[in-house]
Structure 1
């Protein structure tokens, strides 16, 4: 049986996948916030310089993560892809090109970095550093290094 060649996904494909995922997720989250009244509440507080409480941030975080899993959980578990990655024909694999277990994939690659990004200043800085790692030779973000994954061309 011939050995399968692994081709790393390009930076443009990865960016495209993230943008597609965001274009799908953000309007739905805004819609949920508007229907529940959270949008007006948030805008009013922001206009008056009042930050959300820890509990309010936690609820918003959990709603966002739940929606992310609702939209992408099956694709991640079965194919190592989000909707955006599927459209861009790339997928997440381990360093041997094999599928990564869902719990490891979600908890380390998505949940941990999403949670850390919520920390004022430090979270934003880490998010920038995470993304800048893609400009290194192996084209792997910090979350790829932590998880032991790479994003490759698929199909």
Structure 2
């Protein structure tokens, strides 16, 4: 067999990140598990808001002030939002997981296998896409691109690329 000196070099490329504990390798999480975790996180937030929502609006229906929602309802919802955010921030900083990711056995790590800091979660993974998503006309496109990038070969969304992270299965 003849060797072509002008051929491009050939090298194996592995898409699997080595485990930092030295035991095995991580496998990228499936798209279905990532979607399921996002849906579970959304359901958790909805479940947290529903009691304050129904209590506030039932109070508004019973009151004689022309159906206005009491001010405490907004304060209660803001407090619930802060509690849910604090729980998720604590889980992200300790385990690299939200409640939904933890339930489905996946977590977020850096592409080199290191743990992700809370600052990287907030300022590189969440904030850029969140802010870009608020720009009129451009925002919906950025949000759509962020979601659709999961269908690429690496299964990484735009926020994963910004933060240099991947979502992987957790070993038991």
**TM-score after normalising by structure 2:** 0.66
CA displacement at 1:64 relative to structure 2: 8.8
Distance in 2 (alpha carbons) for counterparts of 1:111 and 1:35 = 32
- 3-state secondary structure, aligned to 2:166: strand
- 3-state secondary structure, aligned to 2:141: helix
The structure that has the greater radius of gyration is 2
Q: Higher relative contact order at CA 8 Å, sep ≥6: structure 1 or structure 2?
A: 1
Q: CA RMSD in A?
A: 2.7
CA displacement at 1:119 relative to structure 2: 2.9
After TM superposition, the structure 1 stretch with the greater mean CA deviation from structure 2, 130-139 or 63-72, is: 63-72
Number of residue pairs matched by the alignment: 133
Runs of at least 5 residues in structure 2 that lack an aligned partner in the other structure: 1-20, 61-77
Alignment correspondent of 1:75: 91
Runs of at least 5 residues in structure 1 that lack an aligned partner in the other structure: 41-61
CA displacement at 1:97 relative to structure 2: 1.6
Alignment partner of 1:4 out of 24, 27, 43: 24
Alignment correspondent of 1:16: 36
- 3-state secondary structure, aligned to 2:107: strand
CA displacement at 1:33 relative to structure 2: 5.8
Q: Which residues in structure 2 correspond to 1:26-45 (within 5 Å)?
A: 26-29=46-49, 32=52
